[in-house]
Structure 1
Amino acid sequence: MNRRSFLTNSAMAAAAVGLKLSSGSVLAASTNAAMISREQYNKWFVFDGLGVLYDINDPAGSIQDDWRMSDRLRSDLLKSGLDCYRQTTGAPFPAYPGDDIFESSVSMLSQHQKLIDANSDVLMLVRTFNDIEQAKKDNKIAVTLGFQNSHVLGDNLDNVDTFKNLGVLTMQLTYNGQNQIGGGANVSQRLPLTEFGHKVVEKMNETNVLIDLSHSGERTCLEAIAASKTPLTISHSGCRALVDLPRNKTDKEMRLLADKGGLFGLYFMPFLASDSKANSDHLVAHIEHAINVCGEDHVSIGTDGGYTGIDDMEKVRKDTDKMTQHRIDNGAAAAGEKLGNLNFMPDIVGPDQFYLLANKLAERRHSSTRIEKVLGLNAYNLMKDVWK
């Protein structure tokens, strides 16, 4: 896989498109909250539970031949105030025709590590929780690697150790389909966590791998949470009580996750709106619903997107349609993905998206303490807990 293909596939893997939602009425915090200043924001730990390094305006030109980021990508990333993000790696789809899933995943891991090494003045690979703290001290962005589909493990539990030793600290059990572990969002919601899936959960607990249940079907999700002895995450999803799509999670799943000490992350995706035209108002509604269900200590964000601004919205719309059609054609699309979707919030896209979200929440009278938790402190505490 060459650099251009790697980057394009990474961008596709990071975006999971959707539709449908009514924002509903959710009560905000009763405390009066002042607007968040840049100075205050810059002191926070800001975390994205699922991101990708690419320039949405020109994905193929985001990474140079020597693996360095383009000036535009680097500039917008540094402007964002981001401290840490999880990068999707491995082969997320059920299979790439003619490819070996294990081999493809190792290759993609190598490519991401080359990217981090080539930009070591601003990026740091996370192998232990201490690396997150060190990156913050060094004014670098911590990059933690994660799978979006644990089908890459095959039937060998030792592969959990293999991939962890290669830097994969978070493993999502399923993507949209069914695998050897359980059921995903696109198949029956009644598919259970398999016998092997129970062993995978136990193994990941033993090795301090963070289990991610984004994209999972409801029964698989509930049974995995119940089986786990450590907190888990649903890093990028929405609230099904507001939009009834299988990529969004039920209150039952969210509540059980929080009861286990886990973290629920909201994506910046079209699944948040019933007509697929999601904006920051829909995002705020989902965050508020999640806080009401899970409590403010168990809510976070996972954009499932990038950090560059939009230069030409019409071009981006056309490019997004091409990507969506590709996902539909190869069976990777979730229910609700359709042409015409945008895989980001058009009113808060780009390097200012987290700061703008902070002040959207402040306008709704959420306290700065709560906003800081949602933007990263909760994730910081979870990673510290699970990764020891």
Structure 2
Amino acid sequence: MNRRSFLTNTALASAALGLNLTSGGLLASTNEKRMISREQYKKWFVFDGLGVLYDINDPTGGIQDNWRMTDRLRNDLLASGLSCYRQTTGAPFPAYPGDDVFETSVSILSQHHKLIDANSDVLTLVRNFDDIIKARKENKVAVTLGFQNSHVIGSNLDHIETFKHLGILTMQLTYNGQNQIGGGANVSPRLPLTEFGHEAVEKMNEQNVLIDLSHSGVRICLEAIKASKAPITISHSGCRALADFPRNKTDKELRRMADKGGLFGVYFMPFLAPDSKATSEHLVAHIEHAINVCGEDHVSIGTDGGYTGIDDMQKVRASTDKMTQHRIDNGAAAAGEKIGNLNFMPDIVGPEQFYLLANKLAERGHNSTRIEKVLGLNAYNLMREVWG
């Protein structure tokens, strides 16, 4: 069953989650401007296609020596209404001097297991789709683990299965550079999916690992979509038609992804604005463009950020500039990533960001059913199809 057929079972999926879809019909007019209430929002499955647990105000990131989250981090996470998020793990950059990238990835992966275990009263590691349902019933946040660069498997396809057993359910084929699978956003968009890349896609399909094409070049993106037997995700990106950066996706890529039953997540990143100074106005515009191109069943969000509020914006600007400079120096930065950027939407940052986004979409006339899909139900359906 492909995802377009699968979506006809939305009511069934909602019943399993205890969700309420009666707030707006599937054919409700986009002229509806009813605000989303707190009570309604709390019933929704809210998903972040790429997030991270950290407190941007805290030098420790909000993680204590015993791997326990600080009260601030824990409280902001729970206040966000988030049901599930994908945590980046492994070694995304092409070189870790003196280290074996496989060994480094296992070590970083182990640290995320420790973090989840130490906070098991509020976090649940997702090893299969049933864990998402279980976390929902227990009022916990489900955490799925994923890589942002498949260079971690080296030339050994069996590493895909190994990492799957260690909790990796999503694998991004490339980061910004070139690897053994193909080219990322910083290199030639004409680089193809390699022969080994085709084998890797086949192996990921076999293992029910969700393939992520964020950061990919145009050609590898199109060829991987065609090669995959399962729907894919572009978990955190923007629309190139609105902001012409290599990290954003062309309409052709978006259409091919949707035709295959996949899911596009719009990030809360500076690349949404041509001048790299994005706000929620740009975020909403990219979501609307993606809906127009892909259809409302194939659009979601992937913040590429955290969930705590900002105590001192000037301090955060300084620390962000320092991190950006480090990424520029080591070759990890993408085009448009520059000093002065903020890697979040400054007007809707913090634990309220998803609820505020829901109401910004409602103000634009999107009905509650569509908003609920974008905030998480579409992702729920995709994960159920690929992992279920």
TM-score (norm 2): 0.92
Q: Which AA in structure 1 matches 2:151?
A: H
Give the Å deviation of 1:96.
1.4
> Quick one: distance in 2 between partners of 1:213 and 1:206?
18
Partner of 1:7: none
Give the Å deviation of 1:33.
3.1
Aligned partner of residue 146 in structure 2, secondary structure: strand
> Quick one: distance in 2 between partners of 1:59 and 1:379?
32
Q: Which AA in structure 2 matches 1:152?
A: V
Partner of 1:200: 200
> Quick one: distance in 2 between partners of 1:161 and 1:59?
36
Q: Cα deviations across residues 108-156 of structure 1 (Å, max 9, x unaligned)?
A: 1100000000000000000000000000000000000000000000000
Partner of 1:128: 128
Aligned partner of residue 197 in structure 2, secondary structure: helix
Partner of 1:382: 382
> Quick one: distance in 2 between partners of 1:204 and 1:131?
20
Is 2:341 the counterpart of 1:305?
A: no
> Quick one: distance in 1 between partners of 2:153 and 2:276?
34
Partner of 1:64: 64
Aligned partner of residue 130 in structure 1, secondary structure: helix
Partner of 1:160: 160
Partner of 2:285: 285
CA contact (8 A) 1:29 1:364 kept: no
> Quick one: distance in 2 between partners of 1:83 and 1:145?
15
Q: Cα deviations across residues 28-76 of structure 1 (Å, max 9, x unaligned)?
A: 9633131000000000000000000000111424111111001110010
Partner of 1:220: 220
> Quick one: distance in 2 between partners of 1:71 and 1:326?
29
Is 2:107 the counterpart of 1:102?
A: no
Partner of 1:6: none
May I ask how many residue pairs the two structures share in their alignment?
361
Aligned partner of residue 371 in structure 2, secondary structure: helix
**Bigger CA drift: 38-47 or 95-104?**
95-104
Partner of 2:84: 84
CA contact (8 A) 1:297 1:378 kept: yes
Please report the RMSD computed on the Cα atoms of aligned residues, expressed in angstroms.
Answer: 0.9
Give the Å deviation of 1:183.
0.5
Give the 3 Å change call, closer, same or farther, for CA 206–141 of structure 1 in structure 2: same
Please give the residue correspondences for 1:105-184 in structure 2 after superposition, counting only pairs within 5 Å: 105-184=105-184
> Quick one: distance in 1 between partners of 2:63 and 2:249?
35
> Quick one: distance in 2 between partners of 1:282 and 1:200?
35
Q: Cα deviations across residues 215-249 of structure 1 (Å, max 9, x unaligned)?
A: 00000000000000000000000000001100000
Aligned partner of residue 297 in structure 1, secondary structure: helix
Partner of 1:325: 325
Partner of 1:366: 366
CA contact (8 A) 1:33 1:368 kept: no
> Quick one: distance in 1 between partners of 2:29 and 2:115?
41
> Quick one: distance in 1 between partners of 2:98 and 2:315?
32
> Quick one: distance in 2 between partners of 1:318 and 1:101?
30
Q: Which AA in structure 2 matches 1:375?
A: L
Q: Which AA in structure 2 matches 1:311?
A: D
Q: Which AA in structure 2 matches 1:358?
A: A
TM-score (norm 1): 0.92
Aligned partner of residue 322 in structure 2, secondary structure: helix
Please give the residue correspondences for 1:230-249 in structure 2 after superposition, counting only pairs within 5 Å: 230-249=230-249
Is 2:40 the counterpart of 1:43?
A: no
Percent identity (aligned): 83
List 4+ stretches of structure 1 deviating above 4 A. none
> Quick one: distance in 1 between partners of 2:177 and 2:355?
35
> Quick one: distance in 1 between partners of 2:29 and 2:303?
23
> Quick one: distance in 2 between partners of 1:332 and 1:72?
30
Partner of 2:267: 267
> Quick one: distance in 2 between partners of 1:282 and 1:168?
32
The gaps in structure 2 that reach 5 residues or longer are 1-27
Aligned partner of residue 282 in structure 1, secondary structure: helix
Partner of 2:25: none
Aligned partner of residue 60 in structure 2, secondary structure: helix
The gaps in structure 1 that reach 5 residues or longer are 1-27
> Quick one: distance in 1 between partners of 2:314 and 2:161?
44
> Quick one: distance in 2 between partners of 1:85 and 1:30?
28
> Quick one: distance in 2 between partners of 1:339 and 1:57?
19
> Quick one: distance in 2 between partners of 1:102 and 1:192?
24
Give the 3 Å change call, closer, same or farther, for CA 173–279 of structure 1 in structure 2: same
Give the Å deviation of 1:364.
0.2
Aligned partner of residue 143 in structure 1, secondary structure: strand
> Quick one: distance in 2 between partners of 1:153 and 1:369?
40
CA contact (8 A) 1:176 1:184 kept: yes
> Quick one: distance in 1 between partners of 2:276 and 2:177?
22
Aligned partner of residue 291 in structure 2, secondary structure: helix
> Quick one: distance in 2 between partners of 1:123 and 1:333?
31
**Bigger CA drift: 51-60 or 83-92?**
51-60
Q: Which AA in structure 1 matches 2:102?
A: F
Partner of 1:12: none
